[in-house]
Amino acid sequence: MSPVFSLTTTTKLWTVPPSITVKGNAKSVSVPVPDAWTSPGPSYKNPRLEPRNYLEGPLSSNPATRLRQMLARPGIVVAPGICDGISARCALEAGFECLYQSGAATTASRLGQPDLAIATLNDFVGSAEMVCGISQSTPVIADADTGFGGPANIARTVKKYAQAGVAGLHIEDQVQTKRCGHLLGKQVVSREEFVTRIRAAVFARDQIPGGSDFVIIGRTDSAQVLSMDEAILRLKLAADAGADVCFIEGVKTKELLEMTVKSLAPTPVLVNVISGGLTPAFTYKEAEAIGAKIIIYSLVSCVPMVHAVRAAMKLLKETGTDFTSAQGMGPKEFFEVMGLNEVVAFDSKAGGSAFKVI
């Protein structure tokens, strides 16, 4: 079995240690720290956002506060990836208590394009406004790619997402012309630029009037580009800069995920599972046993949708009817999944009569 590596330091990350210890299965090796590990600033502290402040009381109707409560309390947060209103409705119907707005799924559903940094901030925010409006207390974690620019752009991104009702977002260390984290050929920015992105997001959150609970998630794609040690270091720096959660993209084995969780504790770790991607197909129970706090299934809605729509279109082409693919679901039954009964009940309660017969 290949060795499992961990990275440890004996000082705060903002103070450059003389060396790091790389631990393998059988021995430890002391490695000099590169000169580039410079100190970009003091560690972020915000006592109001300490997890202990979210341990007690009923779950909040504010989605960001609710997400912090879910992170502070026992159990893994399972967030299926949604791509549109239909998939969001289906996820809620299935009983999921948190949703993930996948960047890849959003780009595909809104633009019919691959996940290659084609979608804009407005595309993502428009989708988020719709999804968050369906169930206003359900936390939605949203992909924010690289933040859509420099610090000022990232600040605007955070504020626009928060205004849309999103509970939290993740910002990554890929270059601006990014791609799906499970494709080859990725490039990442420097550690310093990544930390600047995270710091800008944290500062922007703290500028929101009223004391926002908006969750900032730092994501690194450097495990495939550079090394696992570099990925862990970047996430440690992100946490020290104020990231509430750390997201390691493309972790390839259970052992590496375990090492990531232990290295970053007590900061919660998010793992992304995509069938056929770089990460093993963990069940959420397996991920919880390893120690992950959030698990997202980015393409769980849009990939099955492609199979279903392809099959329906093929049947229509071959048979001339959509009878078989409809599986007995008529317009009313379809609209009931989309919230028809709730709309009719609300109209009646308000004194309306337009939908008395429907």
By annotation, the residues acting in catalysis are 100, 115, 143, 145, 170, 172, 180, 219, 249, 272
| Cis amide linkage into residue 32, ω under 30° from 0 | no
Contact in structure between 329 and 90 (CB atoms under 8 Å): no
Alpha-carbon distance of 29 to 31, in angstroms, equals 6
> Residues 6 or more apart from 155 whose CB is under 8 A from it?
200, 201, 203, 204, 207
The distance of Cα 25 from the centroid of its chain, to the nearest Å, equals: 32
CB-count burial class (<10 Å; 0-12, 13-18, 19+) for 286:
middle
CB atoms within 10 A of CB 112: 8
Nearest Cα neighbor of 13 from 305, 212, 346, 243 is 243
Inter-CA distances, 208 with 80, 111, 178, Å: 28, 31, 28
Could you tell me the two tokens for 327? 């599986």
Beta bridge partners of 28: 23
Give the whole-angstrom CA distance, residue 131 versus residue 301: 14
Query: Is-contact 197 221, C-beta < 8 A?
Result: no
Q: Give the count of beta carbons closer than 10 Å to the beta carbon of residue 62.
A: 17
Q: CA 275, CA 299: separation in Å to the nearest integer?
A: 8
Both structure tokens of 321: 């009817």
What span, in angstroms and rounded, lies between the C-alpha atoms of 349 and 88? 26
What DSSP state is assigned to residue 119?
S
Q: H helices of 169-253, where? A: 191-207, 222-225, 228-240
